[in-house]
Amino acid sequence: MQRRRFTAEFKAEAVRQALLPGVSKAQVAQDLGIHSNMLRKWIRLAQGDSNPKLTKATESAADLARENQRLQKELARVKMERDILKKATAYFAKEST
Q: Using one digit for the tens of pLDDT, what is the confidence trace for 13-67?
A: 999 999 888 889 999 999 999 999 999 999 988 887 555 665 566 677 778 888 9
Determine contact, residues 51/45, Cβ cutoff 8 Å: yes
- In order of 18, 21, 45, 65, 70, the CA distances from 53 in angstroms are 16, 21, 11, 18, 26
pLDDT digits (tens, 9 = 90+) for 73-95: 999 999 999 999 999 999 999 87
| CA nearest to 24, candidates 11, 36, 9 | 36
The domain ranges of the chain are 8-71
pTM value is 0.49
Q: How confident is the model at residue 97 (pLDDT cuts 50, 70, 90)?
A: low
